[in-house]
Amino acid sequence: MPSFTFARGNATKLLSAPLYLFGRWASVFVRRDDDLWVFACGSGIGEGALELYRFASAAKSPRRLVWLARNRGELAEARREGLTAALRSSWRGFRLTLRARVLVVTHGLGDANRYGTSGAFIVQLWHGIPLKRIQLDSPATFRGTAPRMLRALYRRNSAAIGLVPAASETSAARLRSAFGLPAERVVVTGDPRDDAVLRDARAARRLLSARVGRLGSDRIVLFAPTWRDGEPDPVVPSPVEWAAIAKFLEATKSVLIVRPHPHGVGDYRAGAEASKRIRILPANVQNDVNPVLPAVDMLVTDYSSIAFDFALLGRPIAFLAPDVARYTATRGLYEPYRDFSGGSEVATWAELLQTLEEPATLDRLARHAQVLASTHHAYRDGRNTERVYAELLTRLGGQA
Sorted by where each starts, the structural domains of the chain and their CATH numbers stand as 6-190+381-395 (3.40.50.11820), 201-376 (3.40.50.12580)
Band of pLDDT at residue 156, cut at 50, 70 and 90: confident
In tens, the pLDDT along 306-339 reads: 999 999 999 999 999 999 999 998 889 999 999 9
In tens, the pLDDT along 227-261 reads: 887 788 899 999 999 999 999 999 999 999 999 98
Nearest-angstrom CA–CA distance, 266 and 281: 14
pLDDT of residue 1: 47
Q: How many CB atoms lie within 10 A of CB 131?
A: 21
The percentage of residues in the chain with a pLDDT greater than 90, rounded to a whole number, is 76
Exposed, middle or buried, 202 (CB in 10 Å: 0-12/13-18/19+)? exposed
pLDDT exceeds 50 at position 201? yes
Under a CB-based contact definition with an 8 Å cutoff, are residues 279 and 272 in contact?
Answer: yes
Nearest-angstrom CA–CA distance, 165 and 341: 25
Quote the pTM value: 0.91
46-62 burial, b for 16+ CB within 10 Å, e for fewer? bbbbbbbbbbbeeeeee
Average pLDDT over the chain, rounded to whole? 91
Q: What is the separation of C-alpha 49 from the centre of its chain, rounded to a whole number of angstroms?
A: 11
In tens, the pLDDT along 11-33 reads: 565 545 566 565 564 666 678 99
Give backbone dihedrals phi and psi of 272, rounded to 5 degrees, phi first. -65, -30
Positive or negative, the CA dihedral 266, 318, 369, 257 is positive
Question: At how many degrees (to 10) do helices 169-179 and 359-376 cross?
Answer: 60
Q: How many angstroms separate the Cα of 337 from the Cα of each of 321, 332, 396?
A: 10, 10, 39
Q: How many angstroms separate the Cα of 145 from the Cα of each of 15, 18, 229, 333, 334?
A: 11, 17, 16, 24, 26
Nearest-angstrom CA–CA distance, 138 and 7: 13
